[in-house]
Structure 1
Amino acid sequence: MALPNNNEIIFALNAGNAPVFQEIYDHYSPAIFRNIFRLLPHQQEAEDLLQTVFVQLWENRSRLTGNQSVAGWLFTTSFYMTMGRIRKMARLQLRQLEENMLDMAETDETEHNTEIYLHKVRLLDKAINLLPARKKQAFELCKMEGKSYKEAAAVLNVSEDTVREYVKSAMSILRRYALQADISMYMLLAWIMC
């Protein structure tokens, strides 16, 4: 059965017509679900978001006007809600990761924590070994051995400003590598290098 035209749908929704709302749900929910699931490939999360989108449509039906496309409203709302959920999940994962790093620092290291820590240190060591030679030397002298820029400059026979630039560039390269390799390594890098 074909849906009524957009103006008729809006009029029916404004009037609280539940059968028309059900028709809209039946017609659009498969496509909306596919779009959500492409961005957020978790069955339950996608189903929950789909229901939330249609609840929002029902709750905001009186605000719809004739110049709005119901289909456009559904697809736009579902996109923004999905992106919001993804950002929320990413923030939660990052917060969990930060808490885990703090727990590792505050508690006695268990065998499991030691393995995780050593894995991240190995990744960091691999990244450091990929640095250009002079940047690697400057980084190791300043960040690993705790030498000042002045002391490192004397060892490398360059100016302090050059050492500062080498270290800054090395940190930038390591951060990029860490973000690509393992987000938790990025947190370790921030924790070790502060």
Structure 2
Amino acid sequence: MEVQSVVHDRLYRNVETKNIDEFQSIFKTYYPQVVRQLMRYCKEQSTAEDLAQTVFIQLFDIDWNDIENIPAWLTKSAKFAALNYIRNEKRYREREKKEMERTKTVCESSEEQVMHKEEQKLVQKALDRLNERERKLLMLKYSGYQYKEIAEELQLEQASVGKMIARSKRKFQKLFETMRGESE
């Protein structure tokens, strides 16, 4: 309510000190020219009209009787209004692009996390379906143990460890792929 009052007071103060008929004449004479000039910059009729209104509001707010060449002032003001608009639009698009990229990255990483967790669950389920010896063979192998250490740990012949790991790995892969197919 307070802001409206300030704007209202300012408008009426300007109206009292200015010749409204003269301003309307300036507006009617130069508005189409200003809009055409702005169209060269912004390419949209509605945007050009909005910017033209801004230019004429600026003209109304100052003492236009002190301006020697009103058409030149309007041309210069329209150019600055258009350049400010273009600069602001560019910044807005850059912010939007960065936000979209950030959102995309967050979504992708969230999606990747969900997929990774689901895959971990499938790995655990597939391991649980292996017998204890097959599970231990794979766990020791992928924990970095050498065949000799695996043979000692599980009390197996070292020569058979490689074949047993290969069989366990094939069985695990088959279980995992079957479970993955069921979950999709």
TM-score by length of 1: 0.46
State which structure, 1 or 2, has the greater radius of gyration over its C-alpha atoms. Answer: 2
The structure whose RCO (Cα within 8 Å, separation 6+) is larger is: 1
Q: Which has the higher helix share?
A: 2
TM-score by length of 2: 0.48
